[in-house]
Structure formats: structure tokens, C-alpha cells
């Protein structure tokens, strides 16, 4: 992926951290429960939604399939692959996504299901107004590297790195 000037920092998230934060999100949602069901915003919201559904013992899970990112990490046109319609505008449902960044995707989802509770693990300032519950606020200039976007790789020992530079 090409670098986007808007992202100057990386925030790597491990599977363990994602699971821990997904459980923390479920704890925060407990005070709003019970929910009729969970709506995962694909693709990033699939894993957090599964964690929330398990922790809150919710069996009814659906998806909204939407994207706004381009390959260069910039926000482009919103591409709605699969929408959703729920009675009462989604009252009693919880929407789960991995993060809210610019808020563009969240605004589109909210238009479809305006009365659902919107929850994310991570939230950035530009999208905060779209989220009802979140766990961690991250600066707008940070690109979150989720576990599904990473792979372990060899890193040279520090002593070797200094020899190469020196």
C-alpha cells in the first residue's frame, strides 16, 4: 500500500489485544443490553461483532457490507455491497465495527438503521459523533494495523542494525 500523508503513525493491534478490547466493549454494552441482535460492519467489524455476540449471548447476527477506503488508505466513495433494513430503524440492535475513522461509513450505516446503538473498539476524533460506545480513542493521523493486516517477520538484532548504519 502506498503511504497516505494523513497517516503518520502506526498502531499495531495483536489478536490478544483485539480480543481483550472486544470483551471490554461487551462489558460497556452490558448496561444497554439486552439487544435483539448484532449487525457487523464488514469486513473489519466481523471479528469484534463475533466477540460481542458471544459475550452477550446474542445469536441473531447480520451484516452491512460497505467500504470507503481505497488501496492507498484514503477515503473514497462509499461502496454499499449489502444493506440492511430493520423494523423501528433498528431499535434494540447494536452495530459493531472495528473503528470509526472519518465517520463516512458510519454515517451511511446510521442512515440505514438510525435507531441502533453504534459501538466500535477504536474511535478517531472526526468520527466520534457517530459512535455511541467505544473503547479507545486514537489520533486522527494514526493508521491502525489490525491482526488480519499483519504477519510476523524476522527483525535483525539491534547490534546488526547499528553495524549496517554505522
Residue 112 domain flag: yes
| CA gap 16, 124 in Å, rounded | 21
In this prediction, residue 72 has a pLDDT band, given cuts at 50, 70 and 90, of low
Domain count for the chain: 1
> Binning pLDDT at 50, 70 and 90, where does residue 75 land?
low
Are 36 and 56 a contacting pair, CB within 8 Å? no
pLDDT tens across 80-98, in order? Answer: 999 999 999 999 999 999 9
> Does residue 4 fall inside a structural domain?
no
Structural domain contains residue 118: yes
Q: What is the CATH number of the domain that holds 160?
A: 3.40.50.2020
119, 63 contact by CB (below 8 A): no
Dihedral (Cα; 34, 35, 38, 41), 10-degree rounding: -110
Residue 2 has a pLDDT of 35
How high is the pLDDT of residue 163?
72
Residue 155 has pLDDT above 70, yes or no: yes
Q: State pLDDT tens for residues 92-133.
A: 999 999 999 999 999 999 999 999 999 999 999 999 999 999
Residue 72 annotated to the active site: no
Element holding 42 (H helix, E strand):
strand 37-42
Which letter does DSSP use for residue 106 in this model? Answer: H
Which of 19, 4, 48, 47 lies closest to 142, judged by CA?
4
From the candidates 72, 98, 141, 149, give the one annotated as an active-site residue: 98
Domain of 39, in residue numbers = 9-165
Task: State yes or no: is 88 an active-site residue.
Answer: no
pLDDT > 50? residue 3: no
3 part of a folded domain: no
For residue 26, tell me if it sits in a domain.
yes
Catalytic residue among 57, 88, 97, 132: 97
Q: What is the pTM assigned to this prediction?
A: 0.86
Q: Which of 6, 101, 132, 149 is catalytic?
A: 101
Residue found under cell 477504536: 122
The confidence score (pLDDT) of residue 1 equals 35
Biggest CA-to-CA distance, the chain? 66
Q: For residue 101, indicate whether it is catalytic.
A: yes
Amino acid at each position: 500500500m502506498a503511504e497516505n500523508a494523513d497517516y503518520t503513525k502506526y498502531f499495531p493491534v495483536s489478536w490478544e489485544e483485539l480480543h481483550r478490547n472486544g470483551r471490554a466493549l461487551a462489558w460497556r454494552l452490558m448496561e444497554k443490553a439486552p439487544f435483539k441482535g448484532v449487525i457487523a460492519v464488514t469486513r473489519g467489524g466481523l471479528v469484534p461483532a463475533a466477540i460481542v455476540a458471544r459475550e452477550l449471548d446474542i445469536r441473531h447476527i447480520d451484516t452491512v457490507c460497505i467500504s470507503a477506503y481505497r488501496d492507498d488508505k484514503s477515503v473514497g466513495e462509499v461502496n454499499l455491497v449489502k444493506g440492511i433494513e430493520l423494523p423501528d430503524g433498528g431499535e434494540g440492535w447494536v452495530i459493531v465495527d472495528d473503528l470509526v475513522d472519518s465517520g463516512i461509513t458510519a454515517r451511511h450505516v446510521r442512515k440505514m438503521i438510525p435507531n441502533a446503538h453504534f459501538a466500535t473498539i477504536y474511535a478517531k476524533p472526526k468520527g466520534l459523533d457517530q459512535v455511541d460506545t467505544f473503547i479507545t480513542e486514537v489520533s486522527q493521523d494514526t493508521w491502525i494495523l489490525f491482526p488480519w493486516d499483519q504477519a510476523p517477520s524476522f527483525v535483525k538484532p539491534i547490534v546488526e542494525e547499528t553495524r549496517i548504519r554505522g
